[in-house]
Amino acid sequence: MNNAVVNVNGEIVKGPEAKISVFDRSFLYGDSLYEVVRSYGNMFTYVDEHMERLQTSAKLCQMDLAQSPEFLKQELTRTFGKYREIFPQFASKDTYCRIVISRGVGNIGFGLPCIISGSHYYLILQPLNPPTPEQYQCGFHLKISTRLRNHPKALDPAMKSGNYLNNILAYLEAANENYDDALLCNADEHITEGTTFNIFYVRHGTLATPPLDIGILAGITRAKTIQIAKKLNLPVIETRFPKERLYEADEVFITSTIKEIFPITRIDNRTIGTGEPGPITKILSRAYTDQTKWLSA
């Protein structure tokens, strides 16, 4: 918070000074959307893809966005400039940016006439805290949560909404048992995704990941990983599978904007493969980072 710069609906302030109304729908109802983008040095990557997903999320929750993607991109640039001015010591470091869109501010009540403003936007920029090389070498240990991923006909996971309580509860269950994070199944006992990441496994040289229509977030890193794997002539299948498929896998890795392609070495107290980051995971994560850094150069 102390290292953050926040754009509160147009006004850029230091983290501790940022305030929003208690009548903001994001606070009252979690009636909000968000995206996380990151920079490599001084360039944010895949911003268009994140803007496109924000539009998809808005459609899924019937939210009229008062801010166009172009406007949000300009505001990202403006806020980033201010961030580097306030914190010159972070200028060459990688930056985390959370873009939050609230349905607006108004009177308490679900009805849209209660809202007296258009959608509000908030940008939070701070230094990025990616996993360390030591954490990469160890890989994460995941627990398959007893909590289920939301059904797509409930709060559709394809929508990146401000409602992460279900995922937080899965995370807390795992953290209480000393795991790094959690995976969630659906009611058919198929693996869906993690609390804040997508999942892949490798078996006999083929990559597998759950399909989007199982009810997951369409991860930007997931899509880039599939593209890179195909370029490298690695077969990829999108398929439903139970947890046992992960236990028997040669390699498992997760994907997200912040963690990029990150190895999983234990699941539910079972060692995955050799218990170290696997060769295909390493090839893909190097290729992903190289490609993304090259785009930012």
Ligand X SMILES: Cc1ncc(COP(=O)(O)O)c(C=O)c1O
Q: Enumerate binding residues for ligand X (CB under 6 A).
A: 36, 193, 196-198, 217, 219-222, 255-257
CB of 91 to ligand X, least distance (A): 24
Q: Closer CB to ligand X, residue 36 or residue 202?
A: 36
CB of 142 to ligand X, least distance (A): 13
Three-state DSSP class for residue 57: helix
CB of 107 to ligand X, least distance (A): 31
Residue 143, CA atoms < 13 Å, CB-side half-sphere: 18
Q: How far apart are the first and last CA of the chain?
A: 28
CB of 25 to ligand X, least distance (A): 20
Q: Closer CB to ligand X, residue 119 or residue 256?
A: 256
Q: Closer CB to ligand X, residue 52 or residue 276?
A: 52
Q: Closer CB to ligand X, residue 5 or residue 226?
A: 226
Q: How many CB atoms lie within 10 A of CB 43?
A: 14
d(CA 51, CA 35): 8
Three-state DSSP class for residue 144: strand
Closest CA to 14 of 124, 134, 160, 178: 124
Q: Closer CB to ligand X, residue 105 or residue 170?
A: 170
Q: Are 193 and 210 in contact (CB under 8 A)?
A: yes
Q: Closer CB to ligand X, residue 7 or residue 221?
A: 221
Q: Are 285 and 262 in contact (CB under 8 A)?
A: yes
CB of 118 to ligand X, least distance (A): 25
Which DSSP category does 149 fall into?
Answer: P
CB of 38 to ligand X, least distance (A): 9
Tokens of 73: 């991109």
State the DSSP string of 97-137.
Answer: EEEEEES-BBSSSSSGGGB-S--EEEEEEEE--PPPHHHHH
